[in-house]
Amino acid sequence: MEGSSGRSCNPPTGEPAISELETLQKQYEEKKVKIQELYKQIETAKLRLEQQQQQKQKKKNKEIPDEKREAFNELSQKYNSLREEYIALSREMN
């Protein structure tokens, strides 16, 4: 009785191993797809943030319209003249 060591010499059928392998492959593919989707979402969010930052920067860098600049200059001149008048009057009072 050579070769009888109590073990079965027949190889396993392989069906459970193949099924498990297919399941693992399917999980891998699902995770891979999910990672790709997340990457795309991250890139989209990054682009949106960059665009928002650029828009904010553009708003900050916009030139002041001429009308506002002229109004500011007129107010500044009026303030300066009133200040000079105030200083002159306060000196007269002392």
Same domain, 71 and 45: no
Same domain, 53 and 23: yes
Asked if pLDDT for residue 17 goes beyond 50, the answer is: yes
Q: Does 44 reside within a domain?
A: yes
31 & 57 share domain: yes
Q: Are residues 58 and 22 in the same domain?
A: yes
Domain of 77, in residue numbers: 64-94
* Residues 6 or more apart whose Cβ sits within 8 Å of residue 72: 64
Residue 39 to residue 45: CA distance in whole angstroms = 10
Q: Is residue 32 part of a domain?
A: yes
Position 14 confidence tier, pLDDT thresholds 50, 70, 90: low
Residue 4 covered by a domain: no
Per-residue pLDDT at 5 exceeds 50:
no
Task: Provide the pLDDT for residue 57.
Answer: 79
19, 31: one domain: yes
Task: Inform me whether the pLDDT recorded for 39 exceeds 80.
Answer: yes
